[in-house]
A and B are shown apart, each in its own frame.
Chain A
Amino acid sequence: MIKRIFSFLLFTALISSCGNTGKKDVSSKSENSDNATRVDFASLVENPGNFINKNIIVEGKVVHVCTHSGKKMFIVGDNPDVRLFIAAGENMPKFPMELLGSKIEVEGMITRVAGAEVAVNEPKPEAAGDAEKKANGDNCETEAAVAAQSSLADIVMEYKSHTVK
Chain B
Amino acid sequence: MNLSKLNRVTHRDLGYLIAGLAIIYAISGITLNHKNDWNSNYVFENRTFTTNIPVAKESFNDDIARELLKSIQPDAKFKTSYFPTGDKATIFIDGGFVQINTKTGEGLYQRISRRPILYQFNFLHYNPGKWWKYFSDIFCLALIVVTVTGMFIIKGKNGITKRGAILTIAGIILPLLFLFIY
Interface string of A81-117 (1 = CB under 8 A from B): 1000000001001100110111100000000000000
**Which of under 10, 10 to 19, 20 to 34, or 35 or more describes the interface residues of B?**
35 or more
Report the nearest B residue to A69, measured CB to CB. B35
B135 within 8 A of partner (CB): no
B134 within 8 A of partner (CB): no
Interface string of A125-144 (1 = CB under 8 A from B): 11111011011001001000
Interface string of B90-129 (1 = CB under 8 A from A): 1011011101000000001010101011011001001110
> How far, in Å, is A150 (CB) from chain B's closest CB?
11
Known contacts A63-B82, A102-B79; decide if A138 and B88 are in contact (CB<8 Å): yes
> How far, in Å, is A81 (CB) from chain B's closest CB?
5
B36 partner, pick from A20, A70, A123, beta carbons under 8 A: A123
Which applies to chain A's interface (DSSP): helix, strand, loop or mixed? loop
Known contacts A70-B41, A93-B126, A101-B79; decide if A145 and B84 are in contact (CB<8 Å): yes
Report the nearest B residue to A67, measured CB to CB. B39
B84 close to A131 (CB less than 8 A): no
Q: How far is the CA of A95 from the CA of B33 in the complex (A)?
A: 19
User: What residues of B have a CB within 8 angstroms of the CB of A98 in the complex?
Assistant: 95, 112
A76 within 8 A of partner (CB): yes
B39 close to A94 (CB less than 8 A): no
A61 within 8 A of partner (CB): yes
Known contacts A17-B120, A131-B110, A135-B44; decide if A125 and B37 are in contact (CB<8 Å): yes
Chain A residues within 8 Å of B, Cβ to Cβ = 13, 16-18, 20-22, 25, 61, 63, 67-70, 76, 80-81, 90, 93-94, 97-98, 100-103, 123-129, 131-132, 134-135, 138, 141, 145
Could you show 10 A-B contacts with beta carbons less than 8 Å apart?
A17-B116, A21-B114, A68-B35, A76-B84, A81-B84, A100-B96, A101-B82, A125-B36, A125-B39, A131-B47
